[in-house]
Amino acid sequence: MDFRKIEWIFLFVFMGLNIFLFSIYWSNQHEQSLVTNSNQREDILRRLENDEITIKDDVSEEHREGYYLSAEQDNFDSLLNEAGNQTIAQNSNISDRVLTSYPSSQVTFDLKKATNSFNRLMNDKEIIMAGQEYTYLPDVSKKDEELGKIVGAQSYEGIPFIDETSRITLDIGDGDQVTKYTQTRVKEIEPLREKMALYSEKEILNTLYINNNIPSKSTITNIYLGYFKTLEVREKNVYVPVWFVKLKTSDKTTQIEKVNALNNQVITNNLVPKVENP
C-alpha cells in the first residue's frame, strides 16, 4: 500500500470519528426533555421579583457565540520530560491525569490582589508548567482573609473551561503561602462545528425559572459561561458552552444550576455518557 493511500485512510478515519462524536452528542441532547411554556409573557425579571428572588448583578440579553469542541486529556508525560521542568517533576505526582505538586521553595500569594498574584505565578515556569494557558476564575475560586482555593482554567476564544478536566487549583495556607496545587490540562482542542449563537443570560434564567430550578426567596449571586464536558468517547471529550447560575437559597444553602447555552436545556443533574468502542 503506497503512502498516498495511507494518508487518505487516516483522513477518512479522522473525519469519521468527528462525525461520530457529534452525532452521539446530538442524539443524547435530544433525548432530554424540557418543560416549556410559550404562553408566559411576563418578563422574567418581574416574575423573579414577585417570588422574592434577588439578583446581585445586571442580567444580560447579549447573545454570545461558542462551539461544540473536542479535546484530549493531557497526562503531562511530555511536559514533565521537557527541559526546565525537572524541578516540578521531582516535587509532583500524577494520578488519573491529575498532577499534584508541592512547591519546593516559598511561594506567596496575595489574596487581596488575586488576579495579579495568579498571573505572576502562572508566568513562573519554575513552579507551573504551561501556566500561561490558564486564566483566573473568580466565580469558581473560594477565599477569605487568610485561606483560599484559587482556581484557574484554560480558555478557547475567550470562554474558559469550567470543568475538572482543565483546571489549576492553588491551596493558600497561613501566611499567604501556596502549600500545594493540582493541575489538569486538555490538548488538541478543536471545534466540531462552526461558531453558533448562544442563548442569553436572561433566556436561560427564564428556562430555570419555569422548570422550578430557582427556589423562591433565593439570591442569584453569579452567572458565568464556560465550556463543560458532556460526552467522552475513548480518548476524546466533547465540550459545549454552559451557563452556570450560582444561587443561595433562603436556608443559606448554595446550589449551582447548569444550562446548555446552545439549546437552552437544563443539564444540572446530567451524567457524562462514556463510549468505549465507537
How high is the pLDDT of residue 37?
42
Blockwise average pLDDT, block size 10, the chain, 278 residues = 54 56 54 42 86 94 97 92 82 93 90 95 93 96 82 98 97 91 97 96 96 96 97 91 96 95 94 68
CA count, 13 A, side-chain hemisphere, 195: 7
Give yes or no for a contact between 128 and 122, defined as CB atoms under 8 angstroms apart: yes
DSSP annotation string for 211-255: TT-S-TT-EEEEEEEEEEEEEEETTEEEEEEEEEEEEE-TTS-EE
- Provide the terminal-to-terminal Cα distance of the chain, rounded to the nearest Å: 26
How high is the pLDDT of residue 249?
94
How high is the pLDDT of residue 9?
53
How high is the pLDDT of residue 41?
46
Let me know if 178 is exposed, middle or buried by CB neighbors in 10 A (0-12, 13-18, 19+). Answer: buried
How high is the pLDDT of residue 84?
78
How high is the pLDDT of residue 20?
58
Fold (topology level) of 73-188: TATA-Binding Protein (3.30.310)
158: how many CB neighbours lie within 10 A of its CB?
Answer: 10
Cell of 167: 483546571
How high is the pLDDT of residue 38?
39
Q: Kind and range of the H or E element at 120?
A: helix 114-122
CATH number for the domain whose boundaries are 3-68+192-275: 2.40.128.690
Q: Do 3-68+192-275 and 73-188 show the same overall fold?
A: no
- Give residue limits of the domains in the chain: 3-68+192-275, 73-188
